[in-house]
Structure 1
Amino acid sequence: MKSTRTRVRAGAAAVALALLAAGCAAGAGRSGGGVEGTPGAAGLRDPYFPKLGNGGYDVGHYGLTLSYEPDSGRLTGRAEITATATQGLSAFNLDFSGLTVRSATVDGAPAAVNRAGNELTLRPREDIRDGARFVTVVTYDGVPKTITDADGSEEGWLPTDDGAIAVGEPTGSMAWFPGNHHPSDKAAYDITVTVPAGLKALSNGVRTAERKSADGRGVTSVWHASEPMASYLATLAIGRFDTSTTTALADRIPVLNATDPEVAAESSALLARIPEVLANQERLFGPYPFGAAGAIVEHPEDLGYALETQTRPVFPADSFDRPTLVHELAHQWFGNSVSPATWKDVWLNEGFATYGEWLYEEKYAHVPAQRSFDQAFGNAAAWAFPPAEPPTSEDLFSPPVYQRGAMVLHKLRQRVGDEEFFAILKGWPKERRHGTATTRDFTDYADSMTDKDLSGLWDVWLYGNGKPATP
């Protein structure tokens, strides 16, 4: 959930890096015998961010080893990216912004590197065979960028008084690690972070280790996220945090929360309700899709909006309220497990999470979903465009996507009845678990779950221009 979001692309001035010396023999995934590849596409032609993501390969795993010094703002990183070629590759691109590349290898052999704007092009010593698994290692350092959007919101790497927080919807993760930064390419993550003693570093998934350095001056945390994750959902929060642990969902899921000490007391009661909220959502949406849960609550001066970062959403304390918590936790099913195939499909994230708020209020606050629908219907801003057709990137996180997106679901509920609707609501994240989906995928799925004709509903509420005369 972001109030409104647009993206500013970095300039396209080319900066040539040194051609690295030829080295080791090619690995088992490399082509031989005269087989030739072609360059992977520099961008996936997303409707709003055509240069975002890259073609020719699919990432399976990111291994990030990071060290951060808050006093200087300097980040040192090593990204090990394990991928599978989807074509014969003579070169391929990574999305990466700002930081200085120090070296790059593919399957252990030095690779030629070229930099142009946010595109990092690697040319391996030998072509990579279609279907081959290959490992790219990039080392880098520098002061990461904070990206300021047209609406004034910030993403990427946000320094704080005692550390930093990294958030990336939809393009900001390229500010702190290189990768295929389009939501259609999801991967598992292992993130190892070293920070000065006295600070903590929190990320997605389960913390598998924490150790002090031999000299006592640093502490290293290791985080493992085994389920596929779109890169915009990766997060890293560094600072002085109060932490608490519990379990949820019949003790199956460990819950780790972290709060800025200045807002810990006021946040504790709502944090304690996370297991209750997850239990309600699991009843509605099906099994919780991840192996960890929790929240990070920052000082309002450090973060300007809440975001559904996978397994551990982040909140500014002044937005850490019940509706926002419910919204971000609903995203774990809708947006995180089932991610948008393109950014045009983002209503599948926000409309569903907003309707999750309405359902929670219906059960626990005795506010019928119809009343929430009526309030949304009366909001003129919700009718600026159809939820499935945002005009520009500036419109991706605006009322039509959230409120009218939720109205689509309420009209579907009215059309098919509660029994079929809640079967759709639970079946959809099961159908697409840990995958991606388009709007068409969802409408086809809903159509398949009922014998009622839904074409008029989609035409008017999902794709139609203008406000219907009657709700």
Structure 2
Amino acid sequence: MPVRRPFVLATLPVAVTALLAAAAPPSPGSSGAGDPYFPLAGNGGYDVRHYDLTLRYDTGTRHLDGKAVITARATQDLSRFDLDLSGLKVTGLTVGRDKADFTRKGQELVVTPRRSLRKGQWFKVTVTYRGTPRPVTDPDGSPDGWIPTDDGAFVAGEPQGAMTWFPANNHPKDKASYDFTITVPENRTAVANGVLAGRHTAHGHTTFRWHQAEPMAAYLATATVGKFEVEQYTTRDGIRVYNAVDPREAATAAPVLKKLPSVLEWESRLFGPYPYRAAGAIVDRAPDVGYALETQTRPVYDSAPDLATLVHESAHQWFGDSVSLTSWKDIWLNEGFATYAEWLYSEQHGGDSAQKTFDELYARPASDALWEFPPGDPGSGADIFGEPVYARGAMALHALRRAVGDQVFLRVLRAWATEHRDGHGTTAGFVRLAERESGKDLNALLRTWVYQDGKPAAP
């Protein structure tokens, strides 16, 4: 009948499309996660849920033997997929119980399983590897990854360095839990993320086992090795603290590390409950590094930190670690927030007010490097750790605070950390949340401070 004709014609293409889709062969996962600044970072086609890393490091020869067991789920029908791994020699690779073919192409370890993987299928990849890990050099010239020291290794992976010591889906979009089993000479200590699950010494070597239960981006993993003085205790909030300090830095670090419990309590009051079961610090002597990093649960410092740095790296446990980036372009969501935590701490502990710090920065001329690029779009990997990301990122938050008032502003920070806990965020998402909490249209304000080129007009 004529009335049925449009119905039949409309449904035939749908049916044909469905049949064609069902018959489509598995395809390779992408060789990158699509990040505009680091296009080869991460990979497509699967989601990692857990890394089980077994490492043995000789501090004399600087040789590393590794085994990574990666539990993942296919997000498409996969004929092959990539892992990020730089430099080290792969000696064996299986997918499930079967040996898999693999090739190397720069930082890409390209894996072709014997049988294609179905969308939604869980699978395990086991990679054995060895070699002398070498750091990568970031676009800004700093070392990143497994960085040798005179007594071990300083392991800090932001943004690219995780691939220098284990095969990974190396982008913050793919977070996972971790287990570490690290064997080192018995006069060395190996410190990783999370809770110390055990240690055992035999035949001149000590094996340390660490467990990181909450999801973690690969760049936040560490396996720092050295001669350390170790301090362990539990805070009154039940957080298990493990501090490992190079003896040469101990005297300077002690008064700052003593404040760690009170800093975490203060930040918990502002941002919501501390996101993890464990905390602490790794204070190394690594004069060639030049930075600290908010490695999850246990920041790593290249020397004894001052109090502002401790506050900054601790704040990252909320902003950057628990709430992670979706794109490196949004790095101000990490660094601007942690920098503003420093301003708030100073303001509430007898130091300069946030307003005074803002005013001093704003007084810089338009030609100053502070206004060289906007924090929400640094423009390249070379600038993602530049001053505008930190200082002007914090200024954007202060401009927001002035616009909505202290009470609403602190509610925004807490809601951001709470609602995105163990997940991810974007600048657009933060603007929406701030508008929801304040009831104001904040798009123009935040766009000016986060994305506008040059020095903004006086607030």
What TM-score comes out, normalization by structure 2 length?
0.93
Q: Aligned partners of 1:409, 1:391: CA distance in 2, in Å? A: 21
CA contact (8 A) 2:30 2:44 kept: yes
Q: CA deviation digits over 1:235-269, x for unaligned, max 9?
A: 11111100111223x24101110110111122111
1:47 paired with 2:47, answer no
Quote how far apart the aligned CAs of 1:366 are.
3.5
SS in 1 for 2:80: strand
1:96 paired with 2:85, answer yes
1:230 paired with 2:217, answer yes
Q: Aligned partners of 1:35, 1:395: CA distance in 2, in Å? A: 42
| Aligned partner letter, 1:367 | D
CA contact (8 A) 1:106 1:135 kept: yes
1:350 paired with 2:338, answer no
Q: Aligned partners of 1:301, 1:407: CA distance in 2, in Å? A: 31
Q: Aligned partners of 1:204, 1:282: CA distance in 2, in Å? A: 20
Q: Who is 2:244 aligned against? A: 258
Deviates more, 1:50-59 or 1:151-160: 151-160
Correspondent of 1:376 among 361, 366, 385: 361
Q: Aligned partners of 1:42, 1:455: CA distance in 2, in Å? A: 35
Q: Aligned partners of 2:70, 2:76: CA distance in 1, in Å? A: 17
Q: Who is 1:158 aligned against? A: 147
Q: Aligned partners of 2:404, 2:429: CA distance in 1, in Å? A: 18
| Structure 1: gaps spanning 5 or more residues | 1-32
| Structure 2: gaps spanning 5 or more residues | 1-21
TM alignment of 1:162-311, pairs within 5 A: 162-213=151-202, 215=203, 217-248=204-235, 250-301=236-287, 303-311=289-297
Q: CA deviation digits over 1:388-439, x for unaligned, max 9?
A: 1111111101111111110111111111111111110111011100111111
| Aligned partner letter, 2:58 | E
Quote how far apart the aligned CAs of 1:148 are.
2.6
Q: Aligned partners of 1:153, 1:383: CA distance in 2, in Å? A: 22
Task: Return the index of the structure with the highest Cα Rg.
Answer: 2
Quote how far apart the aligned CAs of 1:332 are.
0.2
Q: Aligned partners of 1:251, 1:463: CA distance in 2, in Å? A: 39
Q: Who is 2:386 aligned against? A: 398
Give the number of equivalent residue pairs: 435
Q: Who is 1:139 aligned against? A: 128
SS in 2 for 1:367: coil
Q: Aligned partners of 1:129, 1:59: CA distance in 2, in Å? A: 15
Q: CA deviation digits over 1:184-222, x for unaligned, max 9?
A: 000000010000111110011001010012x2x111000
Q: Aligned partners of 2:363, 2:188: CA distance in 1, in Å? A: 47
Q: Aligned partners of 1:193, 1:300: CA distance in 2, in Å? A: 20
| Aligned partner letter, 2:135 | T
Quote how far apart the aligned CAs of 1:34 are.
8.9
Deviates more, 1:450-459 or 1:344-353: 450-459
| Aligned partner letter, 1:383 | W
Q: 1:447 to 1:175 in 2, by over 3 A?
A: same
Quote how far apart the aligned CAs of 1:446 are.
1.0
Q: Which has the higher helix share?
A: 2
Q: 1:300 to 1:376 in 2, by over 3 A?
A: farther
Overall identity of the aligned pairs, in %:
51
Q: Aligned partners of 2:388, 2:71: CA distance in 1, in Å? A: 38
CA contact (8 A) 1:204 1:234 kept: yes
SS in 2 for 1:38: coil
CA contact (8 A) 1:158 1:302 kept: no
Point out which structure has higher relative CO (alpha carbons under 8 A, 6+ apart). Answer: 1
Runs of 4+ off more than 6 Å? none
Q: Aligned partners of 1:184, 1:154: CA distance in 2, in Å? A: 23
CA contact (8 A) 1:36 1:127 kept: no
Quote how far apart the aligned CAs of 1:120 are.
0.5
Q: Who is 2:4 aligned against? A: none
CA contact (8 A) 2:138 2:382 kept: no
1:409 paired with 2:405, answer no
CA contact (8 A) 1:156 1:174 kept: yes
What TM-score comes out, normalization by structure 1 length?
0.90
Q: Aligned partners of 1:181, 1:95: CA distance in 2, in Å? A: 6
| Aligned partner letter, 2:61 | S
| Aligned partner letter, 1:411 | A
Q: Who is 2:70 aligned against? A: 81
SS in 1 for 2:251: helix
| Aligned partner letter, 2:242 | L
